[in-house]
Amino acid sequence: MISGINPLGLIRRKDAFDDPDWVFELKHDGFRALAYVDAERCRLVSRNQHRFDEFDALAKAIAKDLAERRAVIDGEVVCLDAEGRSRFYELLARKGRPYYYAFDLLWLDGEDLRDRPLLERKAKLRELVPEKDSRLLYVDHIEASGIAFLERVCEMDIEGIIAKRKKGLYREGTTWYKIKNAAYSQAEGRGELFDRRRSRPGSTPEDS
């Protein structure tokens, strides 16, 4: 199985846009993680190649759900409230039950998918993720209508949206935009909080 993949980065963009060649996803507020699944074992690895040992129970749940499959998935470790919205401070404090929101599939059962178009990778991912009763969840998308989508996201107090080209590859040079909700309630104090945690020995918090 391939390993040591560097997740695609996000470029901040101020305004949402409409474009038929793009899709838009919810930006879930958590820790970015690659899931390496290999025959009933799973490792969750941060974008800086640190293993998330504190989420071993979640990793075991993902491995169980995928049974004998071998895969590399890109996604986000999150905690959710009763309405299904991610709650970053609960995740940071390890107070809530973590879930893994999967939004891309890079490798599956011996096949490298990174040179396949985004929508083809997402179609395979959707088939892979259980439909219910799982801590492995699928990040759906809408096509073309980013402006109205962001407006709705802001009304729901969600962090923002991600914009991706439908035919984009998972390779260096591919652009993903993050477009944030300027009034997001959990953004206040985030920078100061991370500065404090980074100053503690052995602490490596990694927001997305």
128 Cβ neighbours under 8 A, 6+ residues apart: 66, 69, 71, 105, 108
φ/ψ of residue 125, rounded to 5: -65, -40
Per the CB < 8 A criterion, the answer to whether 136 and 130 are in contact is: yes
Q: Is 27 tagged catalytic?
A: yes
Look up residue 177 and give its two tokens: 């935009």
- Quick check: helix, strand or coil at residue 132? coil
CA separation, residue 117 to residues 98, 120, 167 (Å):
29, 5, 4
DSSP letter assigned to residue 102: E
Set 27, 122, 164, 180: catalytic member = 27
Q: Rounded CA gap, 101 and 94, in Å?
A: 17
Q: Rounded CA gap, 71 and 42, in Å?
A: 9
47 Cβ neighbours under 8 A, 6+ residues apart: 6, 7, 32, 33, 34, 206, 208
Tell me how many degrees the CA angle 36-50-125 measures, rounded to the nearest 5. Answer: 25
Q: Catalogue the active-site residues.
A: 27
